[in-house]
Amino acid sequence: MELLAFLGVILLAIIGTPLFIIMGLAALVAFGFSDVESSAVAVEIYRISSAPTLLTIPLFTFAGYMMAE
């Protein structure tokens, strides 16, 4: 079954599907095959997103945009 999902992702890439759709579908398929509960995923996403290092990425991007204008 995983092989079929992998081939589906490759087929989507070959026919020119946008990359964000391919990555989103691949993540949904991988989540469907895993045995992880959705509540654990939500807690882990919150833990990772509250890291101060991760917050600096969009702020530096915004600062670079403002300096370019």
Looking at residue 65, its pLDDT comes to: 93
Domain ranges of the chain: 1-35, 37-69
DSSP classification of residue 41: H
Q: What is the pTM of this model?
A: 0.53
Looking at residue 4, its pLDDT comes to: 85
Looking at residue 58, its pLDDT comes to: 86
Cα–Cα dist 58/56, whole Å: 6
Q: How many other β-carbons are positioned within 10 Å of the β-carbon of residue 26? A: 15
Contact 12, 22 (CB under 8 A): yes
Contact 13, 22 (CB under 8 A): yes
* Res. 66: pLDDT tops 80: yes
3-state helix/strand/coil string of 45-59: HHHHHCCHHHHHHHH
**Tens of pLDDT along 5-43?**
889 888 998 999 999 999 988 888 888 888 888 788 888
Looking at residue 67, its pLDDT comes to: 95
Looking at residue 39, its pLDDT comes to: 84
